[in-house]
Amino acid sequence: MKRLMVMLYMVGVVLFATQAFSADKEAIAKNVDAVVAAINGGKGAASFAADAYTPYAFIMEAEGKLIVHPTLAGKDLKVEGMPIYEAIKAATPQGEWVKYVWKEKEKNTYIKRTNNNLIVGSGY
């Protein structure tokens, strides 16, 4: 009986975590979509604050220069983290999730291209 209770508890935790994870992904995509829509509507990319979103959002030129980022704004992502640039440059106007490894941790980032070819992303 004790084993059954432990198993039911573990199943409950997994189900709860899966729902929370899904909600987080939806919130991240919604934030990125809103930033892209604002830029496509004429708002300047540099007017966004990276830390206005949780998790932070970044805006990058297609060639790799980060316009908005909490610590790397103004830097070239090809120099700072080529594997990340390689994953992120695949952004499309429809938006998509990409995975890459940064500092020995797997990262998941939702990325989307603006009409003027900027890349907006956020993830965990």
Whether the pLDDT of residue 115 is over 50: the answer is yes
Contact 94, 112 (CB under 8 A): yes
Asked if omega into 93 is within 30° of 0 (cis), the reply is no
Whether the pLDDT of residue 94 is over 60: the answer is yes
Structural domains of the chain in order of their starting residue, each with its CATH number: 2-123 (3.30.450)
* 102: confidence class by pLDDT, cuts 50, 70, 90: confident
pLDDT of 39: 98
